[in-house]
A and B are shown apart, each in its own frame.
Chain A
Amino acid sequence: MEIKINGKKYKANEGDVILDVCRREGIRIPTLCNFPFEEGEFKKETICRLCLVEVNLTDKLVPSCAFPVCSSLEVTTESEKIKKAREINMELLWSDHAGKCVKCKKNRMCELQSLAEEYKIDNFHFIPRKEDLTNTEELDLLKDNKTRVVVEEENPAICRTTEFCIECRRCINVCPERKFGFNHRAGDVIVGTPYEKVLECSFCGECVRVCPVAALTDKNNFSEITEKLDDIKKIAVALVAEGMEEKIKKQLLIMGYQKEPREILKSLGFEKIFDFSEKDAQDEGLDDFKVQLSRKEKINMEDIILFYISSNISLKKEKIANLDYILSEREIARLARDKKII
Chain B
Amino acid sequence: MNIKDNLKIITEHWGKINPLKIRDYIDVGGYEAIRKFIEKMKPEEAIEEIKKSGLVGRGGAGFSTGEKWEAVKKNKGEKYFICNLDESEPGTYKDRAIVDNNPHLLLEGIIISALAIDAKKAYIYINGRYIKQREILEKAVLEAASNKFIGKGIINSHYDLEIEIFSGAGAYICGEETALINSIEGKRGEPKFRPPYPTETGLWGKPTLVNNAETVSNIPWIIINGGKKYSEIGSAVSPGTKLYVLGGAVRNSGVFEGPTGMTIGAVIDKLGGGLKKGKELWFSQIGGSSGRLVLENELDNSLTFNKKSEIPLGSGAVFVFDKHSDIYDFLLSIAGFFRRESCGKCVPCREGTFRLYEITERMKDGEISERDKEAIKDILWTLNNTTFCPFGKFAAVAFLDAVEKLKILDL
Contact = CB atoms under 8 A, between A and B. Distances in A.
Main secondary structure of the interface of B (DSSP, over half): helix
Contacts of B388: 46-47, 49
Nearest to B354: A187
A179 interface: no
A188 B351 CA distance: 10
B343 interface: yes
Interface string B375-405: 1001101100111100000000000000000
Interface string B317-355: 000000000000000000000011111111110111111
B358 interface: yes
A129 interface: yes
Interface stretch (A83-91, A247-255, A300-308, A317-325): A83-91
Contacts of B353: 186-187
Contact of B344 (A46, A50, A189): A189
B372 interface: yes
A167 interface: yes
Given A44-B193, A92-B352, A125-B378, A184 B344 contact: yes
Interface string A31-69: 000000000000010111110100000001100001000
Contact of B355 (A49, A60, A92, A188): A92
B188 interface: yes
Contacts of A189: 344, 350
Contacts of B40: none
Given A61-B386, A125-B372, A125-B375, A49 B350 contact: no
Interface of B: 171, 188, 190, 193, 339-348, 350-355, 357-358, 361, 371-372, 374-375, 378-379, 381-382, 385-388
Interface residues of A, number: 34
A186 B386 contact: no
A120 B341 CA distance: 32
Given A85-B386, A92-B352, A126-B355, A187 B193 contact: no
Given A92-B352, A185-B343, 17 more contacts: A48-B347, A81-B385, A84-B381, A89-B347, A89-B351, A93-B347, A95-B355, A96-B351, A167-B345, A181-B188, A182-B344, A186-B350, A187-B351, A187-B354, A188-B344, A189-B344, A189-B350
B342 A185 contact: yes
Nearest to A144: B358
A93 B348 CA distance: 9
A145 interface: yes
The 5 closest A-B pairs by CB, nearest first: A189-B344, A125-B375, A187-B354, A92-B351, A186-B342
A145 B374 CA distance: 20
A52 B358 CA distance: 27
A66 B388 CA distance: 12
Given A49-B387, A66-B193, A181-B188, A88 B343 contact: no
Interface string A88-127: 1101110110000000000000000000000000000110
A147 to B, nearest CB: 8
Nearest to B382: A88
Counting chain B CB atoms within 10 Å of each CB, the highest count among A48, A93, A125 belongs to A125
A186 B193 contact: no
Contacts of A85: 382, 385-386
Contacts of A81: 385
B347 A187 contact: no
A181 B358 CA distance: 27
